[in-house]
């Protein structure tokens, strides 16, 4: 069972050891300047979150964090070519801008083991695994945070604005990303 001091340690490391990059699509995107009107029912801001914790089994030697993040970035870049709306920006709460502005990817290295988070979760502290606070998520369609733990496990949190996708679309795009990442990790050729 994780103690409050373990969570305080996690919170300290999450705030200090992070890096943010922008991931762009591998495909040619429409020119800047075009936009699409957001449907009326989508104008209400709702943040949809899909979080996944990946545990490491006994005897498993995970690849280095740097190798895993490169596989995730490369495969996500391929997925953006198929789901290009999630790399757009929202303007005036009414329009979705064309072009590939990319998706923010925040990489965090936590100073604890994943079991500390899984076995004794503190709900307010789990928000530290999210890429953004709700009030910081205004013009972005999507954000990603990958948190690596000392044990080799990692948490992958994806936040998508309801203005560009519903829950089924999120599940489809994240599932496609998982398949593409698995193929990349196995050295297979990925296809659309």
Confidence of residue 26 (pLDDT cuts 50, 70, 90): low
Task: Point out which residues pair with 28 in neighbouring strands.
Answer: none
* Tens of pLDDT, residues 156-176: 888 887 777 777 887 888 888
C-alpha 78/C-alpha 189 separation (Å) is 12
- Where is pLDDT greater, at 49 or 120? 120
Report pLDDT for 185: 65
Provide the greatest CA pair distance for the chain. Answer: 53
* Torsion angle of C-alpha atoms 144, 146, 147, 151, degrees rounded to 10: 160
- Where is pLDDT greater, at 5 or 24? 24
Confidence of residue 182 (pLDDT cuts 50, 70, 90): confident
Cα–Cα distance list, 29 to 100, 121, 158 (Å): 6, 41, 22
* Tens of pLDDT, residues 69-127: 788 888 888 888 887 777 777 777 667 776 667 787 888 877 777 877 777 777 777 77
List the structure tokens of 93: 């709460």
Three-state secondary structure readout of the chain:
CCCHHHHHHHHHHHHHCEEEEEECCCCCCCCCCCEEECCHHHCCCCEEEEEEEECCCCCCCCCCHHHHHHHHHHHHHHHHHHCHHHHCEEECCCEEECCCCCEEEEEEECCCCHHHHHHCCCHHHHHHHCCCCHHHCCCECEEEEEEECCCCCEEEEEEEECCCCCHHHHHHHHHHHHHHHHHHHCCCCCCC
Q: In percent, how much of the chain has pLDDT > 70?
A: 56
Report pLDDT for 52: 56
Report pLDDT for 33: 53
C-alpha 10/C-alpha 12 separation (Å) is 5
Tell me: pLDDT of 191 over 70. Answer: no
Report pLDDT for 30: 55
Tell me: pLDDT of 134 over 50. Answer: yes
- Sequence ranges of the domains in the chain: 4-185
Task: Point out which residues pair with 18 in neighbouring strands.
Answer: 108
For 4-185, CATH number? 3.30.559.10
177 φ, ψ (degrees, to nearest 5)? -65, -45
Tell me: pLDDT of 2 over 50. Answer: no
Handedness of CA 43, 139, 23, 142 (dihedral sign): negative
Report pLDDT for 183: 80
């Amino acid at each position: 069972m994780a103690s409050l001091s373990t969570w305080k340690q996690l919170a300290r490391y999450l705030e200090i050891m992070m890096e943010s990059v922008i991931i762009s699509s591998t495909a040619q995107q429409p020119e800047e300047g075009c936009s699409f009107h957001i449907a009326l029912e989508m104008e209400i801001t709702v943040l949809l979150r899909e979080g996944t914790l990946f545990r490491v089994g006994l005897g498993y030697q995970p690849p280095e964090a740097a190798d895993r993040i490169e596989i995730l970035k490369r495969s996500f870049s391929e997925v953006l070519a198929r789901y290009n709306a999630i790399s757009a920006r929202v303007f005036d709460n009414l329009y979705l801008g064309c072009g590939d502005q990319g998706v923010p990817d925040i990489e965090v290295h936590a100073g604890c083991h994943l079991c500390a988070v899984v076995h004794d979760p503190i709900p307010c502290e789990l928000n530290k695994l999210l890429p953004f606070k709700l009030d910081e998520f205004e013009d972005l369609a999507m954000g990603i945070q990958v948190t690596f733990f000392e044990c080799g496990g990692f948490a992958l949190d994806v936040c998508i604005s309801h203005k560009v996708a519903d829950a089924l679309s999120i599940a489809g795009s994240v599932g496609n990303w998982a398949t593409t990442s698995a193929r990349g990790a196995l050295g297979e050729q990925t296809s659309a």
